[in-house]
Amino acid sequence: MNHLSQFDKGVDSRHNVNRLRRFTLSEVAMGEVAVIGLGGMGRAIARNLVRAGLETVVWNRSAGPAEELAEAGALHVASVAEALRCPVAFSVLSDDTAFAEVFLDSGVLGQARPGVVHVNVATVSVGLARRAAEAHAAHGIGYVAAPVFGRVSVAEAGALNILAAGEPGLIDRVQPFFDAIGSRTWRLGERPEQANTAKVLGNYLIACVIQSLGEAVSVADAAGADPGQFVELLASTLFPGPVYSGYGSMIAQRRYQPAGFTTALGRKDLHLALAAAAGQAVSLPFGELLRGVFDQAIADGRAMDDWAVIAEQQPR
């Protein structure tokens, strides 16, 4: 789950809510949809599917988030197997380990409804994506990788950018659901790992920006320039867009709480990018530098701060 659109200024949540309310069940032949995993992103996705008028089933390890959504109109089920009886199931789990435990090592795929399409929204490794695709195919289950750019606030507005890869016919089937939760679907290939590769590389580039911004702001600050004004200059001229403006302002203000995306998750995604590059026999020299930066930030007790805190590894 990412961040790229966290700082978008043009999101009109009222427009998205109105669009969702016009979205009716008659437009979706599949009927029901499940959401498995109800962290901040999963809850936002499930809530928008409910608002779209879809019969939405939810499951979570802890009951609280599922009960909250049940009050909003979702159906809380007791097991993943029950959720996989829906024609379409989204999963929004934290990492490779969680995904493997719930879907690949539990035997639950053998209990799924024939023909179900499983949409994996999580940021997972390329290797896990391949393993998941093979396991689903062996059970006759459709599998689509659909990681997203956009933090929880963007998900709540129904404005995620969805990075989709898998069989085109499967993506066609779930596109109406994507329309209910996102502003654009980017079709990136027929192999699910292609979407996961794009996602981890996008996160890698954000980490590179944070590191370089931290260096530049440190020098500007030491020279007597106002850090906030310096960041505004960069974001308004050379580097317009949400990453420089959003993360730049956090760095200038040294404001790393509340965390929209933690340092621990940032290090995890950096390692995924390094592994993806190694799998293609490509080196990421800057990524190796970042590995040390993230490790030091976590050793300094900043694991639960926003990952923009890696800028603090630069001397002030």
Is 268 an active-site residue?
A: no
What secondary structure letter does DSSP report for 26? G
Residue 301, CA distances (Å) to 50, 132, 287 in order: 39, 34, 21
Task: Let me know: does 60 contact 66? Beta carbons within 8 Å.
Answer: yes
Task: Let me know: does 195 contact 164? Beta carbons within 8 Å.
Answer: yes
pLDDT for 16 equals: 36
Give the chain's residues under pLDDT 70: 1-31, 314-316
CA distance 71 to 37: 17
- pTM for the structure as a whole: 0.86
Q: Decide: helix, strand or coil at residue 209.
A: helix
pLDDT for 316 equals: 44
Pairing of strands 160-164, 148-149: antiparallel
pLDDT for 313 equals: 86
Kindly name the residue from 199, 267, 268, 302 that is annotated as catalytic. 199
The per-residue pLDDT for range 3-49, each reduced to its tens digit, is 443 333 333 333 333 333 333 333 333 348 999 999 999 999 999 99
The one-letter amino acid code at 100 reads A
pLDDT for 25 equals: 35
Task: Let me know: does 203 contact 271? Beta carbons within 8 Å.
Answer: no
Which two structure tokens, joined as six digits, stand for 205?
A: 């580039």
CA distance 74 to 67: 9
For residue 206, give the nearest of 99, 110, 301, 286 by alpha carbon. 286
